[in-house]
Structure 1
């Protein structure tokens, strides 16, 4: 039985990961601030930590060891360093949930387009990284800390946009609801392109990558990307409605996917290793139909 520590694991696909770990016979410990309930009952052990207070992690991890760590809750290089120091010598393999946001805006990024092994690190806390630009920088620097310290075998999983029927952000649902209600959607640049992955497949990928011997960065997700224009036109076709696009950033109508640039990834490395993800057209089609049914 493997001993697995999950930092976070009480929200969205992190919660799905924990459930899969339990079902696969692992001894699971989740480490969180202890402010949210979880559905795992006696199937997990629990530790209370604060990622911004190193002393809480040192105390919580004292005298313990794990085979594998999944990090779902790191949002600054200072947190990365403090966590790595607290776990040094206590774990062999470390799976860091990162993001396609480590890349510059653009399409079909391959893993080598951002090198965490050489990226310069300035140690800052999460409050020093506001907005999208801050998020990008925080994740880049966090990756760099884990890979450059060399304390563990590290995998940085650079997820694209995660979607599912139970997506708490409701970003895809926003577009479906606007089309169905005949309201305009604000998209200043409808030709920006994005990559996606289903939350269940994100959790399954994390589970499987933990059993592998891969080290370094990897891009999981559906192989294709899609523009915002193509996305809302697809919604309109499925719903048999007209879509109203506006060149607007007004609150209330602006698309939550209307970022400053495209973000999409090349997933051929993961595919070449045998990992399979749902075709993007099928993935989005299923979700659009689900949200239409929920709306009606």
Structure 2
């Protein structure tokens, strides 16, 4: 049994992670702003993680074996965490994102065409940090989501008070109405309704992970001892045509594509840049991934019950 703190953990795979940590026999504490209570038996601390004094006060003398941070989006939040949890935990695991590799938002080392991107392509130890940018502004943060995650990783990677690991998640799908981004539902609705799906002239592949698999990987990462970034994606990259073919087969309709000129608005998961990660490091460390094609039809079936979402 370990004492594990989850920051966030109120929805989607974070909520599932809390349940699985508890089921595995760990002593679990959750910190969030109180909108959703955790399961019975889980300690709940209600505080805004952006308020360093309040966070320090609510923690009191508590210490943890592991902290799993589900909601760290900026270097400012990371810096607060680095100060508050130095000496309070031996291990800090941050949930990060595939978007740290997005070449549209950063100058990153080139990889050969068709090669899945390894962790070292975005090395947090060398990333520049600017805490004086307007990270408190919601519009700025939304527009700079990838950079916020990169800089948050950089701050925590340089912290001295604990061992640090980041889990860079692929695009998360599954869970029906729990999948709050509505991106899979977008495709299901358009293909079911015979509407066009807007795609790039040459769409390149990306990677996905089921929300249950991501929760399982975070559970595993909490108990592991690796440090540094770790890519988390199911086997089997898909481009937007592969994705729509699987969805079309599941709903019993043909997918209709509309090719959009360069710079035009396309549907989610249509990329004109290489956007697939390598999961080799996680496999070498012992995690076993599923294949996207094995779980995606079930995720589509769940999305058929999802409320209509805005199209992109």
Q: Does 2:281 match 1:273? A: no
CA distance in 1, matches of 2:102, 2:182: 25
Structure 2 spans left out of the alignment, 5+ residues: 104-110, 308-312
Q: Can you list the C-alpha shifts for 1:63-106, whole angstroms capped at 9, x where unaligned?
A: 11111100001110011001110111111100100111111338
| Alpha-carbon spacing, 1:93–1:294, altered in 2? closer, same or farther (3 Å) | closer
- Residues 203-232 of structure 1 show CA distances to partners (whole Å, capped at 9, x for unaligned) of 111111111111111112212211012211
Q: Give the SS at the match of 1:59.
A: helix
Partner of 2:204: 192
CA distance in 2 between counterparts of 1:192 and 1:91 reads: 41
Partner of 2:107 in structure 1? none
CA deviation after TM superposition for structure 1 residue 282, in Å: 1.3
Structure 2 contact 86–160 (Cα < 8 Å) conserved: no
Q: Which position in structure 2 is the counterpart of 1:50?
A: 48
Q: Give the C-alpha shift of residue 144 in structure 1.
A: 0.3
User: Which residues in structure 2 correspond to 1:117-266 (within 5 Å)?
Assistant: 117-123=125-131, 124=133, 125-127=135-137, 130=140, 134-166=144-176, 167-189=179-201, 191-248=203-260, 254-258=266-270, 261-266=273-278
Greater alpha carbon shift after TM alignment, 264-273 vs 162-171:
162-171
- CA distance 1:47–1:186, shift in 2 (3 Å): same
Length, aligned pairs only: 290
Q: CA deviation at 1:126?
A: 4.2
Matched residue of 1:241: which SS?
A: coil
Partner of 1:27: 27
Residues in 2 aligned to 1:161 and 1:294: alpha-carbon distance in whole angstroms:
18
SS in 2 for 1:246: strand
The CA deviation at 1:287 is: 2.0
SS in 1 for 2:195: coil
TM-score, structure 2 normalization: 0.86
Deviation per residue, 1:4-60 (Å, 9 max, x gap): 1110000110000000011111111111111x123513x111112212222221212
> CA RMSD of the aligned region, Å?
2.3
> Corresponding residue for 2:121?
113
Q: Distance in 1 between matches of 2:295 and 2:258?
A: 26
